[in-house]
Structure 1
Amino acid sequence: MSERGVLLVNLGSPASTEVADVRRYLNQFLMDPCVVDLPWPLRRLLVSLILVRRPAESAAAYASIWWDEGSPLVVISERVRDQLRNRLDMPVELAMRYGEPSIERGVLALAQQGVGEILLMHQYPQFADSTVTTAIREVERVIEQHRLQVRLTILPVFHDRPDYLDALADSSRPHLEGGFDHLLFSYHGLPERHLQKVDPTGRHCLTPGCCERPSPAHATCYRAQCLGGSRAIAQRLGLRDDQWSSAFQSRLGRAKWIEPYTEAQLDELAARGVKRLLVMCPAFTADCIETLEEIGDRGREQFINAGGEELVLIPCLNDQPQWMDVLAGWARSEPVRG
């Protein structure tokens, strides 16, 4: 019997590139109140409208980056799970918040192995209700529903952990050595209201210079954590302030999302004369549709059409040995917090 078991959690993926599977996945994802934070009737209406056309469009996008083994995100996550199993003397299970393998399946697999504590090792560097909170709630739901006698420990967000930042900087350094004009840090976006509703002060987020002024709000402010991470990585890489910038991608719907937008930045950088652009996506630890298709394919095409010559997508940490050592170290040493 192992005292601790690791539940490795990422966002998820459709089961296949078939439109029906993509529709099923999008419905589960978008109907989560942590993702689309509207009252159920409005959320159901909005999601139903989105599901008219979006599944076919998304299915084509998934098909363009799908691997022979399956979804890149799931395949990479399985490799990470296997690497951690090789490094740790404790059970490790993989789960996706949406799709398969489900969180319920992962939690029950750990319980069946007799663990007394589950370490929820989510793969989200920055805090957001739509990632961290919903994963925690689902794990808690499964534990309560099945009346499991296990203790839950939650890995804190790790956007500012030196070993994580070192791994990111080290993984990107070879790409910079090939020469570049600019490095763009592109993060997944969020609606602005998601920041404001978790601001404990009720008055800090989205005011002028808010991310640069110290505040208790930064503990849950996704934007401040992203911008701080960019600065920390740029410092490790020895970059001047004019050599890098940050932006936010993956907007959905008509609500105001946090700025600047990646799409606008790609056009602006090309107009400024940037020819060789490097793009890094530190909101993701594993490559997925948002990195491979949205940036690696569509983003590259947009940048070149705007006058740039080359866009190089720097891979996520994926299953790189240095990152695997970092995760294994956290699994061994993370104190009980749950």
Structure 2
Amino acid sequence: MAQAIRKGILLMNLGSPDSTEVKDVRRYLNEFLMDERVIDIPYLIRALLVKGIIVPFRAPKSAKAYQSIWTDEGSPLIVLTKQLQQAVQDEVSYPVEIAMRYGNPTVQHAFAQLMQKAPELDEVIAVPLYPHYAMSSYETAVESVKEIHAKGNYPFQLNFIKPYYNNTEYIDALAESIKPYLQQEFDHILFSYHGVPERHIRKGDTTGCHCLKVNDCCNVDSAAHTQCYRHQCVVTTKLVAKKLGLPEGKFGFSFQSRLGKEEWLKPYTAKRFEEMPKEGIKKLLVACPAFVSDCLETLEEIAEEGKEDFMHHGGESFTMIPCLNIHPMWVKAVAGWANNVAAGEKEMVLA
């Protein structure tokens, strides 16, 4: 008699509006920006800011941006995450489902699907599709799923894959996905990461005295690095550059998607697009390692707006390198982590 399936995998991504209609974009932005780990200010002030100012102004513009990248199948992020789900499913013997932090499909739906496919389910291995730890991405996804799991009184145990910014399989997959683009002539490759406010970095400093306080803090050993987004982005950049044999001066990193007037992590990607042609960097490659699935921030912000800005300021060629999406090495990495956890090897699991 075949043994009952007792494990399941949950792939967790950010999310997307249900459509490009302004009402759906508005609903999505409200849910996203009202998250206290995204805009970490008191609730009443956050509600006034988000619902009274940001969303009414931003929703129509965001709807147009989504329209420029939307596919016949729907949102690129959702479509690509579903493709990753199928690719990982082909590599493992237990069910794989996806859930979004904001929007659909929900975590509750994913849990229900897993339990339907595996009635004797006793463990769900959650894989946050965020390589780096940030309170506004990895942390909020994990804490949200934990809360839903606890409130739902589900019968299965929940485990999480740790941030994998320096994991060999992730670095190898990322390097391999970039390698073909290095065959073309280029002056520089820019690793553009999603930005976060500097306040988030200081707030997440577990030591209270290191991040953005110590000179060259990202390169000085500290316990704070386990939750420091900037340090982890620096490490990813260095490891991938080393793997690809990129010399100093041929690569750099920056941070995109700034919101509001406060100080965010620097250098700003948009600013670098303006500056680089003046520095003699005319042929540019851009990779976005903080995103494992192409989405609005890569397809529209970088490949469309970023390219336009770079070329307008004197650039000659601009190539955005696609995210990992369903690269075979990435698929095998995700499946391998889940298999290791299921086999009892817990070294990659968040305690």
- Tell me the TM-score range normalised by the shorter chain: over 0.9
Aligned to 2:36: 33
1:50 counterpart (38, 50, 54): 54
**Structure 2 runs not aligned, ≥5 long:** none
> Residue 111 of structure 1: CA displacement?
2.9
2:88 counterpart (77, 84, 88): 84
CA contact (8 A) 1:107 1:142 kept: no
* SS in structure 2 of the partner of residue 87 of structure 1: coil
* SS in structure 2 of the partner of residue 242 of structure 1: coil
Aligned to 1:21: 24
Amino acid at match of 2:310: F
Query: What is the aligned residue count?
Result: 338
* CA distance in 2: counterparts of 1:133 and 1:31, whole angstroms: 15
The equivalences for 1:105-124 within 5 A come to 105-112=109-116, 113-114=118-119, 115-124=121-130
> Residue 149 of structure 1: CA displacement?
1.4
The equivalences for 1:1-338 within 5 A come to 1-48=4-51, 49-112=53-116, 113-114=118-119, 115-207=121-213, 208-334=215-341, 335-336=345-346, 337=349, 338=351
Amino acid at match of 2:79: V
Identity %: 45
TM-score, structure 1 normalization: 0.98
* CA distance in 1: counterparts of 2:327 and 2:46, whole angstroms: 39
CA contact (8 A) 1:120 1:154 kept: yes
Compare 221-230 and 100-109 and name the one that shifted more: 100-109
> Residue 330 of structure 1: CA displacement?
0.8
Runs of 4+ in 1 over 4 A off after TM superposition: none
> Residue 31 of structure 1: CA displacement?
0.5
**Structure 1 runs not aligned, ≥5 long:** none
* CA distance in 2: counterparts of 1:33 and 1:23, whole angstroms: 18
* SS in structure 2 of the partner of residue 10 of structure 1: strand
> Residue 3 of structure 1: CA displacement?
2.1
Compare 69-78 and 131-140 and name the one that shifted more: 131-140
Give the superposed CA RMSD. 1.0
Amino acid at match of 1:195: I
* CA distance in 2: counterparts of 1:56 and 1:291, whole angstroms: 19
Amino acid at match of 2:90: N
* CA distance in 1: counterparts of 2:155 and 2:149, whole angstroms: 8
* CA distance in 1: counterparts of 2:150 and 2:220, whole angstroms: 40
Deviation track 1:44-68 (CA, whole Å, cap 9, x = no partner) reads: 0110110121000000000001111
